[in-house]
Amino acid sequence: MAKNPYTQPNRDEAHDTERRTDANSKSDNLETYRSDATGHDLRTNQGTRIADNHNSLKAGERGPTLMEDFIFREKMNHFDHERIPERIVHARGAAAHGYFQPYEAAARYSKAGLFQDTGKKTPVFVRFSTVQGGRGSNDTVRDVRGFATKFYTDEGNWDLVGNNMPVFFIQDAMKFPDLVHAVKPEPHNEIPQGQSAHDTFWDFVSLMPESAHMVLWTMSDRAFPRHYRYMEGFGVHTFRLIDRQGKARFVKFHWKPLAGTHSLIWDEAQKLWGRDPDFNRREMWGDIENGDALEWELGIQVVEEEDEHAFDFDILDPTKLIPEEQVPVTPIGKMVLDRNPDNYFAETEQVAFNPGNVIPGIDFSNDPLLQGRLFSYLDTQMLRLGGPNFHEIPINQPVCPFHNHQRDAPHRQTINKGQVSYEPNSIEDGWPRETPPAEENGGFESYQERIDAHKVRARSESFGDHYSQARLFWHSQSDVEKEHIIAAYAFELSKVERPWIRERVIKEILPNIDMELARRVGEVHGVKPPEHPPAPSEELGITSLDASSALSLMHRGQPDIRYRKVAILAADGVDGDQVEALQKRLEAEGAQGLIIAPSMAPVATVQGGTLTPDAMLNGLPSVTLDAVAVAPGDDSVKALAGSGLGLYYVQEAYKHLKPIAALGDGANVLQAAGIEVPEDGVFSAQTVDDLYADFQEAIRGHRVWSRDAKANDMPA
């Protein structure tokens, strides 16, 4: 008979060694569940070999199907139940595996195990998503992007469930169902899909001034990233990190993309809905297959507890960011995404994130939006994943051991041995036992914040400023970014049927952000805004900063041209040597030169050889690539200049501010398309060597911003 557990230490070394994980531990853990059918017989789920998978069992060849056909019934039953409810928000997503490795600075701020050793790689699974649309909607719609990371640490799963914008629409979780009902497709006709350009969204946000800052972000080009790798990520809320001495500090989490920040252009994003609705997920998948991992640095802004009230806003208010000029971002680690999932449903669809999944060393703040989220995620997953055992689904399991006294419920897979499912117990020696909090490998202990307050249903006065940071964001944008934001409001409101909603936005919201913004949007709608901001001064708020450069998308460029995709337009009669020379130069720097031709047939070169096209002109249209080069060669140039698709290709690239290059007589194609050669971002030369330096520099800059004002004149 075992000894009384309370006379024994409640942890042993064996458990410590069991907990060590590395970058591959999640993959190893998933290996148990991977299934490869190669070389195996076709069988039913009960293991019976199937002889005929084409015909159901019938009473005679032309007779009715028999109820007895267990093989048909099993197959059809399973099929009938294949779908689970999609996420109520963030339904459309794509994910990848990778790892996180801390920098030295991390351990100073948190005792969490994953931050302690700079040599340690913790496996991660990251899901990117849009918010509004259903699972089958388009990737490049104007929307917030989710950026949810599950760290499979030695001490359990930590989920950092963030977005690509640092603030949110509302201050209290109580308003979340209203916000989501307003932005989702309208209830009477389920229109529009994946978009905010409709009456109910603008009705709601124009009646909720606290949303003004976030709406401004969503009207910026951040709302359609060029690639997930070019996207920043934010934890949004203020969290807490707890160090080994038990000291707590407030932090904001940031993901900084090592490749810089880049977005699409609205017209391009819209065209991509039709050209490639899977654009973002396809690019991420392709890059990872190609060995081009996605990389971010995790950074934190740290605020000491005593500085909680040192700002002109409340750090618990999720509609506010902490300007980087006031609190710089300290990098604490790097994340690399380098492996695609094996199965979309099993991994990406069934993964369950929850901001409430934290580990010792990480804790919450009283942000009322975060507090509400701590309830919502577990609740929604019970429905979506069919009960309380979804933690047993392979993608959701921690890589460290987990034992407790929870039992039963639908689809239970763990076979718990023994008689004991309660605690305390003396039958199983007290196992599994509690672990007291400790500097390392301790049990989770909530930060002991002192609270002395009345129970009230109210909002803090310190949450009353709704416009100061919207103004800060506006003043931090470049001229081109401001133009794009004006165009976005103008477009979105043009889709709003009710005039009073449009007027409310133009007269009651926008002037509080900027009079010029209100005037320009008003001009498009024939609505005159008031002479002065109409909001009371406490709502207008104040900010001690005029501008914050980190808020501009152009702030973080890319140091090189890696991952960029360049179309090389070629038809029969092309100068193959020049095509290959350009491809080589691009490839040497990690970019790709893709041969785009009128058809998929091999392209005959003047040298007498052939080139294999990567795509047809309408197969990979210019919206899917970053720059365009027209190859030389008399017949090739004539064919492209005489083809609507060829001309449209370069016109559209011009309209979307892409660098364009013409080699030799390739310039004739540009001229036929109405593009002047040369001009800003349009280059021509006889050889690749003469042209490359300028072209490469323009590709590095990603867009030719100086062209923005006249790009709209291009009829593409």
Residue 353 or residue 695: which is nearer to ligand HDE going by CB?
353
CA 54 from centre of chain: 42
Residue 163 touches ligand HDE, criterion: CB under 6 A:
yes
Whether 404 sits among the annotated catalytic residues: the reply is no
Residue 222 touches ligand HDE, criterion: CB under 6 A:
no
Quote the least distance from Cβ 252 to ligand HDE, whole Å.
11
Residue 146 touches ligand HDE, criterion: CB under 6 A:
yes
How many C-beta atoms surround the C-beta of residue 530 within 10 A? 12
Among 101, 122, 129, 624, binds ligand HDE (CB under 6 A): 129
Residue whose pair of structure tokens reads 């036929």 in the numeric block: 672
C-alpha to C-alpha distances, 112 to 109, 226, 253, 359, 597, nearest whole angstrom: 9, 34, 15, 7, 54
Contacts of the segment 196-202: beta carbons below 8 A, 24+ positions apart: 196/132, 196/142, 196/143, 196/492, 197/142, 197/491, 197/492, 197/494, 197/495, 197/496, 198/495, 198/496, 199/496, 199/497, 199/498, 199/501, 202/492, 202/493, 202/496, 202/501, 202/502, 202/505
Give all strands (DSSP E) within 64-215, no chain letters: 93-102, 122-130, 145-153, 156-163
DSSP string of 290-307, one letter each residue: TT--EEEEEEEEEEEGGG
Residue 417 or residue 457: which is nearer to ligand HDE going by CB?
457
Quote the least distance from Cβ 129 to ligand HDE, whole Å.
5
Quote the least distance from Cβ 198 to ligand HDE, whole Å.
21
Residue 152 or residue 649: which is nearer to ligand HDE going by CB?
152
Question: Residue-wise over 52-85: b if at least 16 C-beta within 10 A, else e?
Answer: eeeeeeeeeeeeeeeeeeebbeebeeeeeeeeee
Among 213, 229, 249, 373, binds ligand HDE (CB under 6 A): 373
Residue 148 touches ligand HDE, criterion: CB under 6 A:
yes
Residue 344 touches ligand HDE, criterion: CB under 6 A:
no
> CA-to-CA distance for 467 and 35, rounded, in angstroms?
54
Contacts of the segment 9-12: beta carbons below 8 A, 24+ positions apart: 10/430, 10/433, 10/434, 10/435, 10/436, 11/433, 11/435, 11/441
Q: In the stretch 49-88, what mask flags binding to ligand HDE with x, by CB under 6 A?
A: --------------------------------------xx
Provide the angle, in degrees to the nearest 10, between the axes of the packed helices 634-641 and 644-655: 80
Residue 127 touches ligand HDE, criterion: CB under 6 A:
yes
> CA-to-CA distance for 381 and 357, rounded, in angstroms?
13
> CA-to-CA distance for 211 and 205, rounded, in angstroms?
6
Whether 163 sits among the annotated catalytic residues: the reply is yes
Question: Residue-wise over 216-236: b if at least 16 C-beta within 10 A, else e?
Answer: bbbbbbbbbbbbbbbbbbbbb
The residue with its CB nearest to ligand HDE is: 146
Residue 380 touches ligand HDE, criterion: CB under 6 A:
yes
Residue 163 or residue 636: which is nearer to ligand HDE going by CB?
163
Residue 299 touches ligand HDE, criterion: CB under 6 A:
no
Residue 376 touches ligand HDE, criterion: CB under 6 A:
yes
Among 124, 208, 236, 242, binds ligand HDE (CB under 6 A): 236
Among 140, 171, 381, 468, binds ligand HDE (CB under 6 A): 381
Contact stretch for ligand HDE (CB under 6 A) within 248-256, 324-332, 376-384, 702-710: 376-384
Structure token digits, residue 400: 């460290």
Quote the least distance from Cβ 14 to ligand HDE, whole Å.
35
> CA-to-CA distance for 303 and 251, rounded, in angstroms?
6
Residue 385 or residue 596: which is nearer to ligand HDE going by CB?
385
Q: In the stretch 82-111, what mask flags binding to ligand HDE with x, by CB under 6 A?
A: -----xxxx--x------------------
Residue 134 touches ligand HDE, criterion: CB under 6 A:
no
Contact stretch for ligand HDE (CB under 6 A) within 375-383, 450-458, 475-483, 572-580: 375-383
Residue 153 or residue 319: which is nearer to ligand HDE going by CB?
319
Residue 178 or residue 546: which is nearer to ligand HDE going by CB?
178
Residue 314 or residue 503: which is nearer to ligand HDE going by CB?
314
Amino acid identity of residue 459, one-letter, is R
Residue 619 touches ligand HDE, criterion: CB under 6 A:
no
Residue 215 or residue 675: which is nearer to ligand HDE going by CB?
215
**Residue of 201, 188, 187, 85 whose CA lies nearest to 141:** 201
Q: How many residues bind ligand HDE (CB under 6 A)?
A: 25
Quote the least distance from Cβ 175 to ligand HDE, whole Å.
8
CA 158 from centre of chain: 18
Residue 377 touches ligand HDE, criterion: CB under 6 A:
yes
Residue 220 or residue 592: which is nearer to ligand HDE going by CB?
220
Evaluate whether 368 touches 141 at the Cβ level (below 8 Å).
no
C-alpha to C-alpha distances, 241 to 256, 405, 534, nearest whole angstrom: 19, 29, 40
Quote the least distance from Cβ 319 to ligand HDE, whole Å.
10
Identify the active-site residue in 138, 157, 163, 512: 163
**Residue of 98, 231, 102, 227 whose CA lies nearest to 166:** 231
Quote the least distance from Cβ 382 to ligand HDE, whole Å.
10
Residue 254 touches ligand HDE, criterion: CB under 6 A:
no
Residue 171 touches ligand HDE, criterion: CB under 6 A:
no
Quote the least distance from Cβ 349 to ligand HDE, whole Å.
9
Residue 249 touches ligand HDE, criterion: CB under 6 A:
no
Quote the least distance from Cβ 89 to ligand HDE, whole Å.
5
Contact stretch for ligand HDE (CB under 6 A) within 21-29, 373-381, 438-446, 690-698: 373-381
| H runs (alpha helix) in 23-162 | 25-31, 70-80, 106-109
Contacts of 236 (CB under 8 A, 6+ apart): 162, 163, 165, 166, 167, 168, 318, 369
> CA-to-CA distance for 25 and 398, rounded, in angstroms?
10
Which residue ranges make up the site for ligand HDE (CB under 6 A)? 87-90, 93, 127, 129, 146, 148, 161-163, 168, 173, 176, 236, 352-353, 369, 372-373, 376-377, 380-381
Q: Which residues are catalytic?
A: 90, 163
